[in-house]
Each structure stands twice: as structure tokens, then as C-alpha cells.
Amino acid sequence: MSEDSKDSKASSEKTRSRAVPTGRTGRALRVAGLAGRVAGSMLAEGTRQWRAGKRPRKRDLLLTPGNARRVADQLSEMRGAAMKLGQILSMDNGDFLPRELADILARLRSEATAMPEKQLEAALRRAYGKQWRREFAEFDPNPIAAASIGQVHRAVSHDGEELALKIQYPGIADSIDSDIDNIAYVLRVANVLPAHVDVEPLLDDAKRQLKDEADYLLEAEFLDDFQRILGDDERFVLPQLHRELTRENVLAMSYESGGPMESLARKPQAERDRVMSALVGLMVTELFDLAMVQTDPNFANYQYRYGTGEIVLLDFGATRRFEEGFVDSYRELAGAAIAGDTDAMAEAAEKVGYAVGDEDGEYRALLLELLLLVLEPLRHEGPYDFGASDMPERLATLAREAAGYADFWHAPPTDVVYFHRKVGGMFLLANRMDARVDANALMVERL
């Protein structure tokens, strides 16, 4: 058995089954129940600490190990926007959330449970009718992957081709608005989100983005677009869309085998550098050449063919199109950072949508320092050693300093949030691989 097939089998055997709550009322009750259990736990812990002569802070009572499990388990069970919002908050908004809660929510990037057979049957009947099995020569009822919006099954077409069917959980698309509103309300009441921060624009945009992700016909278009653009690039392998079998709640495509990207860590330095250079280069191409970025940095969306070195690209549901103005402004920001021109950086950052503060003010200087740090791999001449970088620690220190300024608590520009989500994912993967990438050369080509 190959390394790729072993990894795929292991992934399949880990999948668990649990019914997806459907209906807005039922899902809202789940969130309300979660809030009640967390509040009860906080009261009990607070009473215990008061009796011990301590004066606990509300945040400390909220962020207990027990509450961590309750939050992550409930969002994982609900899947859909509730789980996806947790994933987004954990990766993108460490500025807003306590580090402990961000770590709790980070569990959601790797945890998902499959729907039981009864719900799977209902989803397939919705897509193909009562005789849905006639559409396939074979269908494996055991999912090979489960995520926040749907799960993936292997099938075989009547002409013998192996297929991957991405099947959406029932009721997920209809619950996006209420899920996000309910979870945001619980976070606000628990004083996790600062009361003076207007996160509504970010939440509204998250709703739009998640509705796009739940639209499998739209994802089919994105897959087709990327296939046309990258189909001749020998470094990458993408699934082929099967439009005749694709429905609103089922995305049908060719099955492409591969192993976890983490298996690349066993390869020599030169191979790790080559693969990560290809992925960082693809990210730069997506924004500056295509204005179309697959914004979900989950490691599972990239697989590695151990024998050939090919990179398998999966899951284009989180693809986001960017306006030309944003792309141009971000290009200006990156160019100014590479040149070390802080005045030009401030001007470009304001165009991108940042609150830059008063000229010559302490906050503006701190914001520019933060942006210079985020763009450090692009500014570094020659290969940047991601494995040796302590950038996350330095960023956390600067963010804590910036948090004392009112301007800092403006909700970040939503386009920046989604692009930096991809940037953060690439950094984490390159760091995990101990890779060295000449990101500066890749960026300078676009200036």
C-alpha cells in the first residue's frame, strides 16, 4: 500500500458519526443550552474560588478547561456556520479574542463528525431522487473526510472513473445567518468580544462568504476556473468537475489521491523548499494576478503525492474574488514595505481600509511596525527561513501593545481578514515544514 493510500485510509477510520442539528430553532436552542452550561460552570467555579478566598476575574472563569471542551464540542457537533465562525475567529482574530479561547477554537480546524446514514440518505435523495444509487456503479457510505459544511464520499461512475462526492449537511445553508448571530451574541454576553468594537461588518461579510461556500454550484465554477488556470502546471493536481452529477447540495469531481501535507516533512530540505515555494507563489499569483484567492488555509486542503512530488489542491468553496482597488492598494502596501517607505505604507494601509491613526502618533508607528512584521517574509532578501522564525511571538507582543489604543479596536478590513487568513495558513505550513522560501523574489515580480 502506498504512503498516500495509507494516509487516506487512516483519515477515513478516524471519522465519527453524529447527527447534524437542523432547523433554526433547534440550532438556536443548542447555542442557548451551551450558554447555560458555560454560565453554570462559571458560577460553580466562581463559588469555589470565593470560598477559597480568591477574587476571580470573569474571563478566568469563562476560560476553564471544562468550558473549552463544551464550546469546541458543541460547535463541532453543529457544524455549519457555527463551526466555521469558530474556525475563522481562532485563526484570524487573535487581536479580538483571548489567546486561550483562540486555542480552544483552533480545535475546530481539525475536528468534524460525519452525519449518520439516515441524513446521508436524505441528502442524496434530495440531489438525485429516490433511485439515487442508479447514478453510480459504486458508492461508499463511509466518508473519507468530514468538515464544517459537508463531507466527502468515494464513488465510481458507470464508465469506471473514481469520483469524490462532496455532500452538504442538511439545513446548513438555511442556518447561516442565525448561527452567526447566535454565536456572536453568546461571545458578546460573555465579554469575549470587546463591547466597543463594531464587528457587525465582519459578521455580515462572514455570512455572505459562508453562503457562497454553501453554494456548491458556485464552487463548481471556481473549480472550473482554477482548473483552466492551473491545469497545465505540472506542480499541481486539481480535481476535474463532473457537472452532470453536480447538484445544489452535491459537488461531484474526480477523486485525486494524496497523503497529508505533513508527510512532506520526511523529505529532504530541497524538496520541502520547492513545495512551499510553489504554494507561496500560488498565493501571490491568486491575489495579484487573478484577484481570486482560495482563502481556507486548512492543511487538509493541500495533499502531497509522496512518489511524484505533485501537490493536490482541494476544496475551492472558500474562494473569494477581490476588487481591483483592493489588489492595487495591497500591492502598494507590499511594495512600500519592501522599500521601507513608512509614509507610503501608511497611505496604502488607509486605502486598504485600516484605521491608521494620527500622523506621527504612537499608534500609527505601532501599526506600521505590525504591518512590517506581517510582511517580513516579503521584505527579506533571499530565502526566508520559516522554521527558524519567531514572528508569531513578536506579533503577539506588538498586538498586546497596540490593544491599548482605541484605533486598534476598529474591526479590520474584511478583505484583509480573508487574505491574511491565507497568509497565516501558509506561514504555519511553511513553519511546520521548516521550509525556506524566497518570498521577496516572488513578490518583486508583481510590483
247 Cβ neighbours under 8 A, 6+ residues apart:
126, 127, 128, 216
Catalytic pick among 7, 273, 296, 415: 296
Closest CA to 422 of 285, 307, 310: 285
228 Cβ neighbours under 8 A, 6+ residues apart:
none
Q: Are 347 and 330 in contact (CB under 8 A)?
A: no
Q: How far apart are CA 145 and CA 113, in angstroms?
A: 9
Q: Are 111 and 73 in contact (CB under 8 A)?
A: no
- Cα three-residue angle 188-406-347, rounded to 5 degrees: 120
Give first-to-last CA distance, the chain, whole Å: 46
Query: In 144-199, which residue ranges form alpha helices assigned H by DSSP?
Result: 176-189
DSSP 3-state of 252: strand
Cα of 226 vs its chain's centroid, Å: 19
Give the amino acid at 214.
Answer: A
296 catalytic per annotation: yes
402 Cβ neighbours under 8 A, 6+ residues apart:
95, 363, 366, 367, 370, 408
Closest CA to 81 of 258, 203, 248: 203
Catalytic residues: 296
